[in-house]
Amino acid sequence: MSGSATLNPDSLASVLRVREVWLISIGHGMTHWYTATFYLLLPLIGSELGLSYVQIGFIMTVQHVVGAASNLPAGLLVDRYSRKGLMMAASLFWVGFPYLLMGFTTTYWVLLACVTLVSVGNNIWHPTAISTLADRYPASRGLTLSIHGMGGNVGEALAPLVVGALLAFFTWREVVMINVVPGIFASLLILAMLGALPAPGSRRDETATTRGTAARSWADQWSGMVALLRNRAMVLVCTSAAFRTMTQAALLTFLPLYLTRDLGYSLAFTGACLFALQAAGFAASPVAGWMSDRMGRARIVAGSMLASALVIALMLAVPGSALFVVCIALLGFFLYAVRAVLQAWMLDSTPRRDAGAAVGIMFSTQAIGAGIAPLLAGWVADTWGLFAVFHFLAGTIVLANLFVFLMPRDMFARPAGRP
| pLDDT tens series, the chain, 419 aa | 334 434 444 444 454 456 778 888 888 888 888 888 887 888 888 888 888 877 877 887 787 778 777 777 777 777 776 677 778 888 888 887 888 888 888 888 888 888 888 877 777 888 888 878 877 777 778 888 888 888 877 887 788 778 888 888 888 888 888 888 887 888 888 777 765 555 444 444 343 333 344 456 767 777 877 888 888 888 899 999 999 989 988 888 888 888 888 888 887 788 888 888 877 877 888 888 888 888 888 888 888 888 888 988 898 888 877 788 888 888 888 888 888 889 888 888 888 777 778 888 888 888 788 878 888 998 998 899 888 898 998 899 888 888 888 877 666 655 455 55
- The top-level CATH class assigned to 8-413 is mainly alpha
Closest CA to 187 of 116, 91, 265, 81: 91
- The whole-angstrom separation of Cα 82 and Cα 87 is 9
Chain centre to alpha carbon of residue 254? 18
